[in-house]
Amino acid sequence: MLKIRVDNYSLVENITDPNGDYIYPNGAVDDGSPVRVNIYLYDNKGKLYYSETLLTANFAEYADFAVDVKPGIYTIVATADIVETRNGRVIFECWEFANSSLLEEFTIDDLGYIGYHYKMLGVHISTMNVNNDKEITIETESPGALINFLFKNVTDKKIAYIGYMLEISNYYYDVIAEKSVLIEEPLYDGFEVDSDYTGFYNSIYLLEMRNAELSWGTFDVNEDVIATGGATLTVLPGGHKTVTVDISTNKMVSAQLKNSSEKQSLSVKSLKSSKSNVAGKR
């Protein structure tokens, strides 16, 4: 018997928003949005031997699996993502686990939703020789990063909307190659400006990318352009960070502002409407 414990807590443990607050405090996610944990066990020919899915209430709960295996060499893949469920059935997801019957064809496909912080993804892959009963604990790691896009010093009263765009988007993650594959399809998002706040942000999960072109603009109530700007963005696995744009100078800055006047102009409902190119206890 091979007993596998999947630990996802370190995946999200220290991720914060621009105000310094934990995005997943103590591993928590919203009610009705559990963490889906998949395991896949492959034989030495890369064929699927066993798979199973468990739902945990948060990232701090272990997912425990017990698999009856014959002696041999196996590759273990574990994944963790956030889904929405109703009556125990998944009704919304940001990722599709495709072609899992063969390890060499296994991909994790982006379904095209912005997803915000509900799009967090964790992956683990390892190979081991199993000769007798064994117990192992594995941790999932992020193949990309959660990026906070913060637009601060929004003081010009003519600004009604802020929009931004990345020139490329997630496409899929190649599991055996441990490689992110991107597509040349722009990713768009933005904010309606609330005059009670001087800063606006959201969080978007991006796979690994280097020197991607980022552009942004401010617009008035007639959707006419007030100003535009641009920079390059690099996203590394596990490199969660805040990208800050100072609207008063229209430039990207390195400082991370922690200011209560910043507002996250998002809601859970916006997860579904925004497309661009969501065990034992610790």
Q: What is the pLDDT of residue 195?
A: 86
Q: What is the pLDDT of residue 261?
A: 42
Domain that holds residue 89: 2-144
Asked whether residue 137 falls in the same domain as residue 15, the answer is yes
Identify the three-state secondary structure at position 103.
helix
> What CATH number is attached to the domain comprising 203?
2.60.40
Q: What is the pLDDT of residue 254?
A: 62
Mean pLDDT value of segment 119-123: 98
22 strand-pairing partners: 16
pLDDT at 278 over 70: no
Q: How confident is the model at residue 253 (pLDDT cuts 50, 70, 90)?
A: confident
Q: What is the pLDDT of residue 282?
A: 29
pLDDT at 92 over 60: yes
Let me know if residue 278 belongs to a domain. Answer: no
Element (H, E) at 11: helix 9-12
Per the structure, the count of domains in the chain is 2
Ranges of beta strands (E only) in 193-249 are 199-207, 209-219, 225-235, 241-246
Share of the chain above pLDDT 70, in %: 90
Let me know if residue 279 belongs to a domain. Answer: no
Asked whether residue 6 falls in the same domain as residue 140, the answer is yes
* Residue that is written with structure tokens 């490689």 in the block: 179
Let me know if residue 281 belongs to a domain. Answer: no
Asked whether residue 7 falls in the same domain as residue 128, the answer is yes
Let me know if residue 157 belongs to a domain. Answer: yes
Let me know if residue 65 belongs to a domain. Answer: yes
Q: Give tens-digit pLDDT for 151-160.
A: 999 999 999 9
pLDDT at 196 over 60: yes
Asked whether residue 105 falls in the same domain as residue 23, the answer is yes
Asked whether residue 164 falls in the same domain as residue 135, the answer is no
Of 144, 179, 194, the residue that ends a domain is 144
Let me know if residue 86 belongs to a domain. Answer: yes
Residue 128 class from Cβ within 10 Å (0-12 exposed, 13-18 middle, 19+ buried)?
Answer: middle
* 277 compared with 126, residue with greater pLDDT: 126
Identify the three-state secondary structure at position 70.
coil
Q: Give CA separation, 248 vs 17, 73, 151, 218, 245, in Å.
A: 21, 59, 10, 11, 9
Q: Give tens-digit pLDDT for 5-58.
A: 999 999 999 999 999 999 999 999 988 899 999 999 999 999 999 999 999 999
Q: Are 109 and 180 in contact (CB under 8 A)?
A: no
